[in-house]
Structure formats: structure tokens, C-alpha cells
């Protein structure tokens, strides 16, 4: 039986994981967010090499709750998963007239975007998508590095973004004559969270 030795040879063959990962690169435009992270901490990176067009920094510990609405106390809220007035507190089962409590419990707690790293010009304005030409990007999924290169205002820009393998830390390296002249810099924006899913953070 020929199939059995062939199957045994395939099962015993070494698996070159780095080569397999390298054969399957991501593809997408400059506004597509590619995540890099370590399982506990994640940075969404766009084609700028930072987060100019989309993306956030998130961590497993990053949670937030909005303050209670005026006139509402924590004691007025039943614990989630219990009963209010003899009925479950979830979904649309809330009694009439208790919309504020239901809305607050539905929205809280929620994941907290920790911030956004952007490339900005000397006047503080973020670099816009239409300003980038000759844009290329690559995600080295094996090492967890994102590299982006493009031309901005006639000058080359190279950005490398990486997340630490164990710590909640991100590194961003920008190489360009624009940096040396003070015409391009990195900004960390830490806005207050919003529930407006159509709005970008920052």
C-alpha cells in the first residue's frame, strides 16, 4: 500500500511556519486597518504607518463607563442578569418608564479606545490620504511589524510600527527629511470615548 508510507512521510515532514506565513501576505488599500498585537494589546495600523485614516489602540484591560444620567443613582440599577419587577433585565424586557436605566446598562461598560497615533504637519493638522503618493505597505505577520513607505510633499517617508511581544507597548519609527525639518511629527491623541459608531476617535 503506497498511500500509507506517503502519508507517514507527509506527517513527519518539518513544518516551516515562517515560510507558510510569508506566502500569505495581506492585501488592501491605505484606509484598511491591519492589526498588530500580542494577544493582550492591539494597534490598528493604516497605510500611513500610523492611524491617520482609521484604527485605534486597544487592550484587554481598557474598559470605560459613562457617568450615570442626572437623577439616577447606582442603587436604582438592578444587577445585570437579575430581575427587575419580576422580569429579566436584559433586552427589551424593561418596564415602561425606565428607559434611562436600560440605556445606561446597555451602553456600560464598553471597550475603551486608548488613543490614536497620527502623523501631523508642523501646524498640527493630520496628514491626509490624498497627500500620499507612491504608497506601499507590508505586514510582517511573523515578526508583527508593519512597514509603510510613500512620498509626502515630494519627500520620501518610511514608517515602521511594531508592538512589544509581551508588554502593552507600541513603537513607531518615522524616517524622512520632513522629520528633521520639523515638518512632520507624531501625535498621540487620547480623546474621551464616544458611543457614536460613525465617528472616528480623535
Q: Nine-digit cell at 105?
A: 446598562
Q: Single out the residue of 127, 123, 115, 125 nearest to residue 174, CA to CA.
A: 127
pTM recorded for the entire structure: 0.76
H-run or E-run covering 149: strand 145-152
Residue 181 in contact with residue 121, Cβ under 8 Å? no
Give residue 32's pLDDT band: very low, low, confident or very high (50, 70, 90): very high
Whole-number pLDDT of residue 13: 72
Average pLDDT of the segment spanning 20-25: 85
Average pLDDT of the segment spanning 158-179: 96
Pick 78 or 43 by higher pLDDT: 43
Give residue 79's pLDDT band: very low, low, confident or very high (50, 70, 90): low
User: Residues 6 or more apart from 88 whose CB is under 8 A from it?
Assistant: none
Cα–Cα distance for residue pair 35/38, rounded to 1 Å: 10
pLDDT tens for residues 90-105? 555 566 777 788 788 8
Q: Which whole-number Å values give the CA distances from 70 to 76, 109, 190, 192, in the listed order? A: 12, 18, 26, 19
Cα–Cα distance for residue pair 172/146, rounded to 1 Å: 10
Q: Provide the residue ranges of all domains of the chain, joining segments of one domain with +.
A: 31-57+115-189, 72-108
CATH class of 31-57+115-189: mainly beta
User: Residues 6 or more apart from 75 whose CB is under 8 A from it?
Assistant: none
Per-position DSSP letters for 43-86, written without gaps between them: EEE-TTSSSSSS--EEETT-EE-PPPPTT--GGGSPPTTSEETT
- Give the whole-number percent of the chain exceeding pLDDT 70: 81
User: Residues 6 or more apart from 60 whose CB is under 8 A from it?
Assistant: 40, 41
Amino acid at each position: 500500500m503506497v498511500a500509507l508510507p506517503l502519508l507517514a512521510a507527509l506527517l513527519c515532514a518539518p513544518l516551516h511556519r515562517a515560510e507558510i506565513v510569508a506566502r500569505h501576505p495581506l492585501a488592501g488599500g491605505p484606509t484598511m486597518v491591519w492589526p498588530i498585537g500580542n494577544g493582550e494589546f492591539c494597534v490598528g495600523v493604516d497605510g500611513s504607518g500610523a492611524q491617520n485614516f482609521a484604527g485605534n489602540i486597544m487592550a484587554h484591560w481598557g474598559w470605560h463607563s459613562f457617568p450615570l444620567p442626572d437623577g439616577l443613582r447606582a442603587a436604582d440599577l438592578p444587577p445585570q442578569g437579575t430581575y427587575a419587577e419580576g422580569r429579566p433585565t436584559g433586552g427589551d424586557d424593561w418596564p415602561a418608564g425606565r428607559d434611562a436605566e436600560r440605556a445606561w446598562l446597555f451602553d456600560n461598560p464598553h471597550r475603551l479606545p486608548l488613543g490614536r497615533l497620527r502623523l501631523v504637519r508642523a501646524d498640527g493638522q493630520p496628514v491626509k490620504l490624498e497627500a500620499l503618493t507612491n504608497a506601499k505597505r507590508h505586514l510582517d505577520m511573523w515578526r508583527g511589524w508593519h512597514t509603510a513607505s510613500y512620498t509626502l510633499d515630494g519627500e520620501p517617508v518610511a514608517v515602521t510600527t511594531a508592538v512589544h511581544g509581551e508588554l502593552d507597548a507600541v513603537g513607531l519609527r518615522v524616517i524622512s527629511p520632513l522629520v528633521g525639518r520639523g515638518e512632520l511629527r507624531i501625535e498621540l491623541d487620547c480623546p474621551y470615548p464616544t458611543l457614536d459608531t460613525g465617528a472616528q476617535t480623535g
